[in-house]
Amino acid sequence: MTDGHELDSLTLTGLEVFANHGVFDFERSEGQRFVIDVTLWLDTAGAAGSDDLAQTVHYGELAVAITEAASTDPVDLIETLAERIAGVVLANDPVQRVRVVVHKPDAPITVPFADVSISITRSRSVPIA
């Protein structure tokens, strides 16, 4: 909480990227689709009161930063990818907490399935005085 009120949340749902993440060689060489949902918690009262974009997070620019981070530098695990995305979001000063969900709908699973995903929640580190 900040200034006696709850944090607000902003959600980006269904950001799609094509990337080469995965443990298997064919995932690295052929690539596949990943879908990302991000919820960030921040205090938007100042932005709402002033109608000033500089006092909040520009979600269009954030969406680009997330998809750029997710589409480069292949990793084995979606857990690692989710952690990277959380870092990108938390680099925005107003953001206090973030939830990242990385979906891998085309994962190499041998039984019928709709989706596989990882969900992580991270908070801004508070420096110890």
pLDDT per position as a tens digit, 6-26: 899 999 999 999 999 999 999
Which residue bears the tokens 């921040």? 42
What angle separates helix 78-90 from helix 59-71, to the nearest 10 degrees?
A: 150
Are 104 and 82 in contact by the 8 Å Cβ rule? The answer is no
Q: Look at residue 105 in the predicted model and tell me its pLDDT.
A: 97
* φ, ψ dihedrals at 72, nearest 5°: -120, 170
Q: Look at residue 35 in the predicted model and tell me its pLDDT.
A: 98
Q: Look at residue 3 in the predicted model and tell me its pLDDT.
A: 56
Q: What is the pLDDT along the chain (129 residues), one digit of tens a residue?
A: 455 678 999 999 999 999 999 999 999 999 999 999 999 999 999 999 999 998 999 999 999 999 999 999 999 999 999 999 999 999 999 999 999 999 999 999 999 999 999 999 999 875 544
Domain contains 128:
no
pTM: 0.91
Catalytic residue among 104, 107, 122, 125: 104
CA-wise closest residue to 43 among 61, 54, 55: 55
Domain contains 1:
no
**How many structural domains comprise the chain?**
1
Q: Look at residue 125 in the predicted model and tell me its pLDDT.
A: 76
For 21-37, write each residue's pLDDT tens digit.
Answer: 999 999 999 999 999 99
Neighbours of 11 (CB within 10 A): 10
Q: Look at residue 1 in the predicted model and tell me its pLDDT.
A: 46
Residue 65 CA to residue 77 CA, distance in Å, equals 20
Q: Is residue 36 among the annotated active site residues?
A: no
Domain contains 3:
no
Locate 63 and state its tokens: 């969406």
Question: What is the CATH number for 71?
Answer: 3.30.1130.10
Q: Look at residue 4 in the predicted model and tell me its pLDDT.
A: 61
Domain contains 129:
no
Q: Provide the domain limits for residue 72.
A: 8-123
Helical (H) or strand (E) element with 117: strand 117-123
Q: Look at residue 5 in the predicted model and tell me its pLDDT.
A: 72
Domain contains 12:
yes
Burial 32-54 (b: 16+ CB within 10 A, else e): bebbbbbbbbbbbeebeeeeeee
Domain contains 111:
yes
